[in-house]
Amino acid sequence: MATPGSARMRAEQRADLLRFANGAMTPQGFGWLDDRGDVTAGKPTELWITCRMTHTAALGILAHEAPAVGGPGIDRLREVVAHGIRSLCGPLEDSIDGGWFAAVDENGPRESAKQAYGHAFVVLAASSAVLTGAPGAQALFERALHTSELRFWHDAEGLSVEEWDRGWGVLSPYRGLNANMHTVEAYLAAGDVSGDATWHQRAGRIASRVLDWARANDWRIPEHFDSDWDPQVEHNRETPADPFRPYGATVGHGLEWARLFLAVEQTLGHNAPSGLREGAVALYDRAVSDGWNVDGAPGFVYTTDWDGSPVVRERMHWVVAEAIAASHALAIATGESCYSDNAAVWWEYVQTYLLDDERGSWHHELDPRNRPANSVWAGKPDIYHAYQATLLPELGLTPSFASALVARTLGS
């Protein structure tokens, strides 16, 4: 067995994750996979999953390693990306009002709302697909950027709004940072692929606002806001384990923002907002202090209250993946060995508790005693966080993943 966190282990995991996701195709896009890697019956095809699958398959193509380590071959990955593009230009796209539906099935839209979260992933998936040369990807990329700018970007605030109805006539009063976080990721990639620094600058504006909110809240990021961008810290207290809008501070998002702060800083250079690196360190330290091994067992709790006490103690695979990515990012940015030491501990945790050696992929949720659970996340619908965690140590902070893989190939 490969050493946890080693280059060999990471390559093996990338291949296994792509292999596991190989059965996700549905007529409308990519479905919700169960623990065995089969599409879960009765669930619609969701926009965010379809985009993430398209993106990771594109990364697999650009990494040029799948056939050598046991994953699906490059030709198969190209089929996966092509299917993703067809789905995003077909069943998931609203040909009447524009934009993309949140979820569809064989009868049409199941969730017709137009959500910033999903639209950010359309930008990301299309940008990665462009770099593979996939037919239709460039046109999709341009439509996605146009829609993001026209419908979601609020220039006066330097942030993204959250959700519209199908016809773009009614804007939800809710504002959220989860969608803005993935908009930062998407805009960094869009700037890299298009060469238009406007997208990088907008990512920087979002990061600057989040930095201010985090600093004012003892580095526990408020996630939920009203239409005036006033924090709503009691939002969803009655449903604290919501998979997308949980109550309290989300440990994994502190880690994810830390990584993105560093990527924004390196991308913008001397034009970056001040304090991003210090903010990344503070967010990381707070998330680790609040989240790791705080209740008598290893692992990161999902959420905490505003005083740092655990609220939802289940362990999510994506949180550990983001801890690994953030620790590698900070090791690169600071040169300090403590971050690499932390990453080694968390790779060991992944090896011990999260890898499903029998069926593949990573268990998406563990209970507080580190046994597989499904109270928040049923099945294994997502390979995006884990796949990116295996890539970052080899690519650095910038450019974004797909562009970095192209640059690596050109430089080899």
CATH architecture assigned to 7-235+243-411: Alpha/alpha barrel (1.50)
* pLDDT value for 237: 95
Cα(35)–Cα(194) distance, integer angstroms: 38
Catalytic residue at 182?
A: no
Picking from 180, 161, 26, 182, the residue whose alpha carbon sits closest to that of residue 103 is: 26
Specify whether the backbone of 337 is left (phi greater than 0), alpha (psi in -120 to 50) or beta.
alpha
* pLDDT value for 102: 98
Q: Which residue among the candidates 119, 224, 235, 253 is catalytic per the annotation?
A: 253
Beta strand 163-164 with 114-115: parallel, antiparallel or unpaired?
antiparallel
Cα(171)–Cα(350) distance, integer angstroms: 40
Regions in the chain scoring below 70 on pLDDT: 1, 66-69, 412
* pLDDT value for 411: 73
Residue 378 sits at the vertex; the CA angle it makes with 376 and 380, to the nearest 5 degrees, is 120
* pLDDT value for 66: 59
Cα(161)–Cα(227) distance, integer angstroms: 9
Residue 111 contacts residue 45 (beta carbons within 8 Å) = no
Catalytic residue at 235?
A: no
* pLDDT value for 243: 87
Q: What is the pLDDT of residues 81-126, one digit of tens each?
A: 999 999 999 999 999 999 999 999 999 999 999 999 999 999 999 9
Q: Is the peptide bond before 4 cis (omega within 30 degrees of 0)?
A: no
* pLDDT value for 64: 86
Residue 389 contacts residue 329 (beta carbons within 8 Å) = no
* pLDDT value for 412: 57
Q: What is the pLDDT of residues 163-210, one digit of tens each?
A: 999 999 999 999 999 999 999 999 999 999 999 999 999 999 999 999
CA-based radius of gyration for the chain: 20
* pLDDT value for 377: 87
